[in-house]
């Protein structure tokens, strides 16, 4: 993986913004909304499976150690990486609902007419920051691939790190989408 040039980096951001714009355009179609509700459920199911795996491996380790005086050597690194994945995908989920931890004490004082402007500026900068963090993660993976380290069970470290750029790309996309949709949260499909 070559380290992307400045032009490619800008192009990548534009591509994400265009995707978000298209998605926002589909918001009026009931069929499209059902489709995105479906993909939202797949996303949650994936996260639920990871959490279930975390629970089961944790309990299996206790059983193995206390009852059989053994344990799976790869279970600990696996669980730690599951937390990385859960944390990153959970953050992407928090972006869909705009549930990120923030301070936000001044926007209560703004007149309602200025709120869309606030959203544009704050979310715009957030999207750019999230995208820059994605680029940082892509660079990390490019470096890590050249080392070729193995984390556990023959799985290479860079493969496990892939969740970082994926999650930050999702965060970027969802933050831009919230701007286009003109509301505080991005994904209609994820609302209960």
Partner 1 sequence: MMVVVGILLAVLALYGMPLFAVFGALALILFHQSGVDVSSVAVSMYSIAGSPLLVAIPLFTFAGYLLAHSKAPERLLNLSRAFFPGGLAVVALVACAVFTAFTGASGVTIVAMGGLLLPALLADGYNRRFSLGLITASGSLGLLFPPSLPLIIYGYVAEVEVDQLFLAGLLPGILLVIMLATYGAYRGKRDGVRRDPFSFARASAAMRAAAWEIPLPVVVLGGIYGGIITVMEAAAITALYVLVVEVFVYRDVSVRRVPSIVAESMALVGGILVIVMCSFGFVNYLIDAEVPMRILEWMQTYVSNKYTFLLILNVFLLIVGCLMDIFSALIVVVPLIAPVAAGFGVDPVHLGIVFLTNLEIGYLTPPVGLNLFISSYRFREPVLKLASASVPFLLLLFAALVVITYAPALSLVLVNAFAR
Q: Using CB under 8 A as the criterion, which residues of the chain lie in contact with partner 1 when the complex forms? A: 41, 44-45, 47-48, 51, 54-59, 61-62, 66, 76-77, 79-84, 86-94, 97, 99-107, 110, 118, 121-122, 125-126, 129-130, 132-133, 135-137, 139-140, 142-143, 160-161, 164, 167, 190, 192
Least spacing, CB of residue 58 vs partner 1, in Å: 2
Angle between the N-to-C axes of helices 6-25 and 163-181, in degrees from 0 to 180, rounded to the nearest 10: 50
Smallest separation, CB 66 to partner 1 (Å): 6
Q: How far is the CB of 138 from partner 1 (least distance, A)?
A: 8
Residue 34, class by beta-carbon neighbours within 10 Å (0-12 exposed, 13-18 middle, 19+ buried)?
A: exposed
For 117, residues 6+ apart whose C-beta sits below 8 A from its C-beta are: none
Q: Mark 56-88 as b/e (b = at least 16 C-beta within 10 Å).
A: ebeeebeeeeeeeeeeeeebeebeebbeebbeb
Nearer to partner 1, 23 or 89 (CB): 89
Cβ nearer to partner 1, comparing 22 with 60: 60
CB of 83 to partner 1, least distance (A): 5
Half-sphere exposure of 149 (CA within 13 A, CB side): 11
Between 30 and 101, whose beta carbon lies closer to partner 1?
Answer: 101
For partner 1, the closer of residues 23 and 141 by Cβ is 141
Distance CA 187, CA 99 (A): 12
Q: How far is the CB of 109 from partner 1 (least distance, A)?
A: 10
Print burial letters for 119-143: b (CB count within 10 Å at least 16), e (below 16). beeebeebbeebbebbbebbeebee
Closer residue to partner 1, CB minimum distance, 22 or 65: 65
Q: Which is nearer to partner 1, 29 or 65 (CB)?
A: 65
- Work out how close the CB of 46 gets to partner 1 at its nearest, in angstroms, rounded to a whole number: 10
């Amino acid at each position: 993986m070559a380290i992307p040039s400045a032009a490619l980096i800008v192009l990548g951001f534009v591509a994400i913004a265009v995707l978000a714009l298209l998605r926002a355009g589909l918001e009026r179609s009931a069929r499209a909304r059902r489709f995105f509700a479906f993909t939202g459920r797949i996303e949650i199911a994936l996260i639920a499976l990871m959490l279930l795996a975390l629970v089961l491996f944790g309990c299996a380790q206790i059983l193995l150690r206390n009852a059989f005086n053994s344990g799976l050597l790869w279970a600990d690194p696996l669980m730690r990486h599951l937390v990385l994945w859960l944390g990153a995908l959970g953050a992407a989920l928090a972006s869909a609902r705009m549930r990120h931890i923030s301070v936000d004490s001044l926007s209560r004082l703004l007149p309602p007419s200025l709120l869309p402007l606030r959203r544009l500026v704050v979310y715009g900068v957030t999207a750019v920051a999230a995208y820059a963090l994605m680029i940082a993660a892509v660079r990390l993976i490019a470096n890590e691939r050249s080392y070729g380290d193995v984390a556990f069970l023959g799985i290479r470290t860079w493969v496990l790190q892939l969740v970082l750029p994926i999650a930050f790309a999702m965060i970027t996309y969802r933050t831009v989408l919230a701007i286009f949709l003109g509301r505080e949260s991005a994904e209609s499909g994820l609302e209960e």
